[in-house]
Amino acid sequence: MNLILLGPPGAGKGTQAQRLVQSHGLVQLSTGDMLRAEVRSGSALGRRVKEVMESGALVSDDIVIQAIEARIAGPEAANGVILDGFPRTVPQAQALDAMLQRHGRKLDHVILMEVDEPALVDRLAGRFSCRNCGAAYHERNHRLQKEGVCDNCGGTDFVHRPDDRPETVTKRLEVYRRDTAPILPYYRDRGILRSINGMGEMDDVAQAIEGILRG
């Protein structure tokens, strides 16, 4: 089963993708995570994309398409993938179709997580993640069970993303509306787009997704 989680930054795509990894044994392919790993590696490419990411703009289609294809072609993707943060433009959606076809795979579901945009700035400003395992938390909505200790791996070092600053979030939302929203009709016309309310409790959102996957 291959699926896309779509929605603006802060919709909860990463959180729900992590749950699906646990519950369905799917592989999460997050272009944002791949790009952040590239930045951490300090490579020439990483240095180039760091600036773009911190400005809230999109990295070029070629770079993310290549990164995704390398993973979709691999054996770990055979059981199915959850695409989180990809595609973000119509050319990326078209490239995805072509590569799935090349590798004999197909897209089963595209799930749009609908959220109240004004609430997103607040949601993103409060989020942080474990530096060690990447588990995502929020200062109010998803707190650590034990202060200062990651529930998942016991790590004690946490990071706030530099692009979650309110001014950058505003830019990322503009980019979403301008460049990413046009892919919705692309999938709607094929009858595989389903929408869910992404504003509820995490468990309710997860249940709504499960309902779609069960068909």
Tell me the residue nearest to ligand AMP as measured from the CB. 32
Shortest distance, position 9 Cβ to ligand AMP, whole Å: 5
* Smaller CB separation from ligand AMP, 87 or 206: 87
Q: Which of 172, 187, 206, 208 binds ligand AMP (CB under 6 A)?
A: 172
Q: Which of 52, 90, 199, 212 binds ligand AMP (CB under 6 A)?
A: 52
Residue 88 CB coordination number (10 Å): 20
Q: Does 140 qualify as catalytic in the annotation?
A: no
| Whole-angstrom distance, CA of residue 54 vs CA of residue 49 | 9
Print the binding letters for residues 25-44 with ligand AMP: x by CB under 6 A, - otherwise. ------xx--x---------
* Residue 176 binding ligand AMP, by CB under 6 A: no
- Residues numbered 71-90 forming contacts with ligand AMP, rule: CB under 6 A: 85-86, 88
Instruction: Name the segment binding ligand AMP (CB under 6 A); options: 56-64, 104-112, 131-139, 193-201.
Output: 56-64
Site size toward ligand AMP, by CB under 6 A: 17
Q: Which runs of consecutive H residues, i.e. helices, occur in the chain? A: 13-24, 31-41, 44-55, 61-72, 90-102, 117-125, 166-175, 183-188, 202-214
Per-residue CA distances from 130 to 22, 83, 148, 154 (Å): 18, 21, 10, 9
| Whole-angstrom distance, CA of residue 124 vs CA of residue 142 | 12
| Whole-angstrom distance, CA of residue 192 vs CA of residue 172 | 26
What lies within 8 Å, CB to CB, of 25 at 6+ separation is 79
* Smaller CB separation from ligand AMP, 44 or 147: 44
* Smaller CB separation from ligand AMP, 58 or 115: 58
* Smaller CB separation from ligand AMP, 134 or 209: 134
List residues binding ligand AMP (CB under 6 A): 9, 31-32, 35, 52-53, 56-59, 64, 85-86, 88, 92, 163, 172
